[in-house]
A and B are shown apart, each in its own frame.
Chain A
Amino acid sequence: MRPRALLLSGAAALALWAGGCGDDDDSGESGESGDELTVSAAASLTDAFPEYGETIDGEERFSFAGSDELAAQIRQGATPDVFASANTTYPDDLYDEGLVEEPAVFTRNQLVIAVPADSDLESIDELTEPDLDVVIGAKGVPVGDYTREVLGGLPRTDSAAILDNVRSEESDVKGIVGKLTQGAADAGFVYESDVAAAGDALRAIELPSDLEPEVSYGIAVVSDAANPDGAEAFIDGLLAPDGQRILEDNGFLPAQPG
């Protein structure tokens, strides 16, 4: 038994070494198969993008998460073909770093307060009342940053009172929606499109227009994309009238105001 075991571990060590030398081969990225398209997109696009994908040629593979996480993945060397963010900051930053091609604004959204359909809440002022449970996005997640922008526009005591009511900072907008539809929270800051997607479960309270942040979605072809032509076509189609109509059907606003 002994010599056999020795032989085995010797072989294991050898193979480990060989494997260690050869592991550069494993780094091939997925999505290299011809016309398949990998799309990293903000969580708020979870419904709209697959619907749009049905209408165009080719197979898409979507990865939905908070835009900040998707941007971090690209910084760590992930190469989807398309990056669609719920703000313009991340695509612009990645463009400056040479990681994506020049970004374009492809849609806009409206930040709203979402409440369960049977809620009595009517305005942002009421969120200052104590003992309310409010859920927002984490810092760095676009929906969380927009929310902090809105709160920053309120009188200091009001924003402090609302922040006092914040019980959870979610890593993407769908986490906020989940807490609301489960009746776990009284109110949350999400996009109009998320309220539309939640059907009858949620109701949107619009923000006063002077507080409303400018919510523009940026999209870009990733520099090392395996399928840059497909990525280009995906974005062009999204900006074309048919693509814009699908986004509007899902509660988004046209790329150009007006």
Chain B
Amino acid sequence: MRLRWFPLLLAGALCLALLFLTLPIAAIFLQVGPGELIDRLGDPQATDALRLSLITSGIALVLILVVGTPAAYLIATRRFRGRSVVITAIELPLVLPPAVAGIGLLAAFGPSGLLGGAIEDAGVRLVFETAGVVVALTFVASPFYLRQAQAAFEAVDPTWLQASRTLGSGEARTFARVAIPAAMPGLAAGTALAWGRALGEFGATLVFAGSFQGITQTAPLAIVELFGSDFTAALALSAVLVAVSAALLLSVKLVIGRGAGSRATEPILDASR
């Protein structure tokens, strides 16, 4: 008897989770027909928002990769005092409510924030500017990449790195030619997670950068604004975001499928799915 109810319980739990997670996404596509969807996407507010979302999340992603990859490599391969504190500090934004992130960004980089004067003196404007959106996206999305990249580098067999060094390659060369290729599937997974998070960002952007069509109004902000006035248009834009995110997830799975040789990163991606 024992063996019969437990599998059922597991199956029940899985199916509950599956239903709960897929129904809202399915509903978006069921409520808006393909013809209407394409129709609404001609709306300049929607196209502006989508373009802005792709540009800002793209720039944020480049920043995250360029700074995050070496930073994660350092954390993964060195033991130093305060390492766990550093890791915790990097992970903290993961559990921060987005609105809190926005308020923190204002308090740090806003006109009357900690660094507000210095930023203004440098002639840079963040609040109400597209650059501010990039800052908000980078802040909320980078921990997703850093954490994943750290785990990916940690899973690289240290003897490979050692062998590379023994063969006369410098630190930098070892990092670029051995560590990064070996960790690639994990890095790709982290990239997708960070990108997805950046595309969906709402609260921090609204609080820190504001909402203005073509300048700071990303797709999620436009969706919320459209929700009040034009539900179908909000649905259509949502459908596009779902499609883009799904394409992201899928392309990463393809990348990882190709790099299946490096077994090291499989469990990491599993944890993230």
Contacts and interface: CB of A to CB of B under 8 A. Distances in A.
B234 to A, nearest CB: 8
A167 B128 contact: yes
A167 B106 contact: no
Contact of B106 (A12, A75, A182): A182
B243 interface: no
Interface residues of B, number: 33
A68 B127 CA distance: 26
B231 A76 contact: yes
Interface stretch (B5-13, B153-161, B173-181): B5-13
Nearest to A73: B227
Nearest to A136: B212
B216 interface: yes
Contacts of A167: 127-128, 210, 212, 215
Chain B contact residues: over half helix, strand or loop, or mixed? helix
A7 interface: yes
A212 B227 CA distance: 28
A69 B128 CA distance: 23
A8 B228 contact: no
B75 interface: no
Given A8-B7, A16-B18, A168-B216, A183 B110 contact: yes
Contacts of A75: 231
A241 to B, nearest CB: 34
A172 to B, nearest CB: 10
Contacts of A72: 227-229, 231
B229 A12 contact: no
B136 interface: no
A168 B227 contact: no
B88 interface: no
A159 B128 CA distance: 20
A141 B228 contact: yes
Contacts of B211: 138, 168-171
Interface in B184-227: 206-207, 209-213, 215-217, 224-225, 227
Contact of B212 (A68, A139, A169, A175): A169
A69 B229 CA distance: 8
Contacts of B227: 69, 72
A168 B228 contact: no
A66 interface: yes
Nearest to B111: A183
Interface of B: 7-8, 10-12, 14-16, 18-19, 23, 106, 110-112, 127-128, 206-207, 209-213, 215-217, 224-225, 227-229, 231
